[in-house]
Amino acid sequence: MKTPSELRVSKERDALTVTFPGNEPVRLSAEMLRVLSPSAEVQGHSPDQRVLVVGKENVTISNLEPIGHYAVRIVFSDGHSTGLFTWSYLEELAQKRNQLWADYLRELQEKGYNRKT
């Protein structure tokens, strides 16, 4: 498991830039991190329990809390803080961010939701 060399919250608190050794920094929006939170509240305990999170266009990152040497807890402005973003999950989000975001937007559309921005 790679450990990020840097985690940096944007001045506006609307994104987290993640840098893994040997890779370019990757900017992950707070909205994306929130809707793809690894928490049981979002992911459930099996794939069929996963919840589509909507209405988080303006969510921001309130705080980052280190969890040992393997993860970070992201506290969001809407109060959500139960997901532990392991280094491997952050790396997956960084590597697959475009596809994961496209999948999320497609699911929103399929279920009749419209983003506000």
**Tens-place pLDDT, residues 12-53:** 999 999 999 999 999 999 999 999 999 888 887 777 888 899
What's the pTM value of the predicted model, to 2 decimals?
0.94
pLDDT at 114 over 90: no
pLDDT tens figures, 61-82? 999 999 999 999 999 999 999 9
N-to-C CA span, the chain? 35
Buried b (16+ CB within 10 A) or exposed e, 50-70: eeebeebeebbbbeeeeeeee
The CA dihedral of 114, 90, 58, 65, to the nearest 10 degrees, is 150
